[in-house]
Chains A and B, each alone.
Chain A
Amino acid sequence: MEPIKVHEGLVYPLNRANVDTDQIIPKQFLKRIERQGFGQFLFYNWRFDDQGNKRVSFNLNEDKYEGASILVAGDNFGCGSSREHAPWALQDYGFKVIIAPSFADIFYSNCFKNGILPITLSGNNVESLIQRAEDENYQLVVDLENQVVKDSFGYEEGFSISSYQREMLLNGWDEIAVTLTHEAKIEQFEQNL
């Protein structure tokens, strides 16, 4: 996994709450047995109509959000299905950071396994970020080492994250390899089963 330390990128605002993983990646794309290539199907039913044409009404299709890598959305982002295809699709599309007032538990932990940083900011913060990104070409700098989000106009907001998850992203760890350093303890545990 690629480590994240500081990331600077264009912000894409998705002004909706309860965005579920069925919307992030619809079920018809879950039949693939690969991990790559899901970006083209991200938000598929919102981005494309029945004929496969882009829906102009959905803002991710606007030119100004091309190349966006920071997604800002409403409460409870990633609820529903546990499908890791959701972070795979977001990551493959180019998103590295997701900012929301709250995340669903399984989605939140899936992000860390795929080099995506989910950041929880207050509802007020998120609202103003969404507003800025809707109004103009808006860039943010996300500094994981110092745990702050900032822009070049003086906005700066700290965020919290567990030290374990922070380390995992900063170092791009293979979690299984870390766990296997505790193998003797697992064996010992199994002997008492």
Chain B
Amino acid sequence: MAPKTIVEKIWEKHVVHQEKDKPDLLYIDLHLVHEVTSPQAFEGLRIHNRKVRRPDRTFATMDHNVPTRERHIIKDQISKAQMEKLKQNCEEFGIRLADINHPDQGIVHVIGPELGLTQPGKTIVCGDSHTSTHGAFGALAFGIGTSEVEHVLATQTLWQVRPKTLNVKVNGRLGKGVTAKDLILAIIAKNGVRFGTGFVIEYTGDAVRSLSMEERMTVCNMSIEAGARAGLISPDETTFEYLRGKRYAPKEEAYEQAVEEWRSLATDEGASYDATVEIDAEEIEPQVTWGTNPGMCIPVSACVPNPADVTSASAKEETERALEYMGLQADQPISSVKIDHVFIGSCTNSRLSDLRKAAEIVRGKKVNHAVQAIVVPGSHSVKAAAEAEGLDVIFKQAGFDWRDAGCSMCLAMNDDVVPPGERCASTSNRNFEGRQGNGARTHLVSPEMAAAAAIEGHFVDVRKYKTPAFN
């Protein structure tokens, strides 16, 4: 048999119907739902008198709107109505819901893996572009629009064109203090924000193999920032260890059987991709974005680009506009940029290991007087686990605010907003204009870099930063 990629294998197992000149009708194993992109889909079902085909394959939570402090008092009435609507819809259509007070509540891309809902070989969708996160487990997971949410609710399928495959091969090993976040930012900086458009990315190579599950999630999470709807990693022992014992994972003997099947999903030796790009992990330094998309990114030792050095007219204009929006000078060292806010959170970097690494940096230190810093755990259970090991105390003693789980300042739909013109070092995934608040200026970094910036008040190379973690 010809060698195949994991994408081909998963695809072939999920085709329900195939016809010439049409997309394939693909079965969806797991549908995750949240409050922002679902109300109109449920309304569509009601209008046409349709049911949810597989409530047992659907799981909902509230994350985008939820307040991260005093959560029972939701001041914003429109947010409140949206959350209540989700609750009603889940009751009416018989869908499991981890609502704001539920112990399983959290960012949809944090709780799926945590509960073991996310498994290798599954097709997973959600009305959210960062669904690519679940690809870390060797699942084919991608974001969809609300019409497609309605389509999946009604039929448990989607019409999809078979995607092209792109191998992103990361050779060597990441250096000390260089994280999965720096890796994915460097990949996007090198290849641009649209090199993945039309492709599913498979991340391969030694550096990827040595990443933990949580680090793999960080990488796959940002596939969409490279334009790819999905990004995945072939499953291996790291994957199987992580899932063992998770609530919705198969149990005991069934688990061993599942592992055998999952193992066979991995891309075969010699399988071919439609395109390949390579990068050397050793070359990568801690990264900081300077502009208004995630590809506008430089190593922390570098200077902000000068539009005069940009050749194409449209790119020059884009650079100028980004510098103006960000309030930066051409050629200014990025480490000289002073920040007002630090946000540690989001589906990219809010898991227990992220919080541990950030806590390690701030332990025994104080947040700079000019900086307001918050930590927002990705889920209720991350929060509980962090508290059980005292991370909350380390953060609070350093002067961080310790919050409840949700998307929070990643997109500022709740009260956690960066004011106009102020600057935030953020562990999230998008530095678009206005993302963290109208006029807010976002710099994307790793949790370690964000923690160090909180202490110093500006960006510093975390590798030179004197902490027990690196000495």
Contact = CB atoms under 8 A, between A and B. Distances in A.
Task: Identify the interface centre among A76, A82, A113, A179: most chain B CB within 10 Å of its CB.
Answer: A82
A135 interface: no
Nearest to B40: A35
Nearest to B413: A27
A186 B156 contact: yes
The prevalent SS among residues of B at the interface is: loop
Given A82-B145, A83-B37, A105-B229, A182 B25 contact: yes
B197 A76 contact: yes
B318 A17 contact: yes
Given A31-B65, A33-B39, A33-B85, A106 B194 contact: no
B197 to A, nearest CB: 6
A82 B65 CA distance: 16
Task: Identify the interface centre among A22, A80, A113, A183: most chain B CB within 10 Å of its CB.
Answer: A80
A164 B16 contact: no
B8 interface: no
B293 interface: yes
Contact of B151 (A74, A82, A175, A186): A175
Interface string B421-457: 0000000001011110011000000000000000000
A128 interface: no
Interface string A22-56: 11001110111111000000000100001000000
A113 B148 contact: yes
Nearest to B315: A17
B228 to A, nearest CB: 8
Interface string B142-176: 11111110110011110101000000000000000
Interface in B296-321: 314, 318
A179 B145 contact: no
Contact of A23 (B17, B50, B146, B432): B432
The prevalent SS among residues of A at the interface is: loop
Contacts of A75: 194
A87 B37 CA distance: 13
A48 to B, nearest CB: 10
Nearest to B127: A82
A186 B157 CA distance: 8
Nearest to B314: A17
Interface in B178-199: 193-194, 197-198
Interface residues of A, number: 50
Nearest to B81: A33
Task: Identify the interface centre among B23, B78, B129, B411: most chain A CB within 10 Å of its CB.
Answer: B129
Interface residues of B, number: 63
Given A79-B194, A180-B155, A186-B155, A106 B129 contact: yes
Contacts of B290: none
Contact of B37 (A84, A185, A190): A84
A163 B23 CA distance: 10
B464 interface: no
B466 interface: no
A139 interface: no
Given A33-B40, A50-B420, A176-B151, A102 B144 contact: no
Contact of B227 (A15, A87, A104, A114): A104
Contacts of B258: none
A179 B147 CA distance: 13
A20 B37 contact: no
Given A22-B435, A186-B156, A189-B16, A80 B78 contact: no
Nearest to A164: B22
B282 interface: no
B128 interface: yes
A175 B43 CA distance: 16
Interface in A76-125: 76, 79-84, 87, 102, 104-106, 109-110, 113-114
A110 B27 contact: no
Nearest to B50: A176
A34 B145 CA distance: 15
A59 to B, nearest CB: 14
Interface string B10-50: 00000011000111010100000000110110010000101
A162 interface: yes
A28 B439 CA distance: 13
Contacts of A31: 36, 65, 76, 78-79, 81-82, 413
B412 A27 contact: yes
A108 to B, nearest CB: 9
Interface string B393-409: 00000000000000000
A155 to B, nearest CB: 22
A109 B145 contact: yes
A20 B148 contact: no
B150 A176 contact: yes
Contact of B154 (A45, A76, A180): A180
Given A76-B193, A179-B155, A180-B155, A18 B198 contact: no
Task: Identify the interface centre among A16, A26, A31, A190: most chain B CB within 10 Å of its CB.
Answer: A31
B194 to A, nearest CB: 5
Contacts of B193: 18, 76, 79
Contacts of A110: 145, 147-148
Contacts of B227: 76, 79, 104-105
The 4 closest A-B pairs by CB, nearest first: A113-B147, A33-B39, A84-B145, A110-B145
13 contacts: A20-B430, A27-B435, A30-B36, A31-B81, A76-B193, A79-B194, A82-B127, A84-B145, A84-B147, A113-B145, A164-B22, A186-B155, A190-B156
Given A163-B21, A164-B22, 9 more contacts: A20-B293, A28-B413, A31-B78, A82-B143, A104-B227, A109-B148, A176-B150, A179-B157, A186-B155
Interface of B: 16-17, 21-23, 25, 27, 36-37, 39-40, 43, 48, 50, 53, 64-65, 76, 78-79, 81-82, 85, 127-129, 142-148, 150-151, 154-157, 159, 161, 193-194, 197-198, 224, 227-229, 293, 314, 318, 411-413, 420, 430, 432-435, 438-439
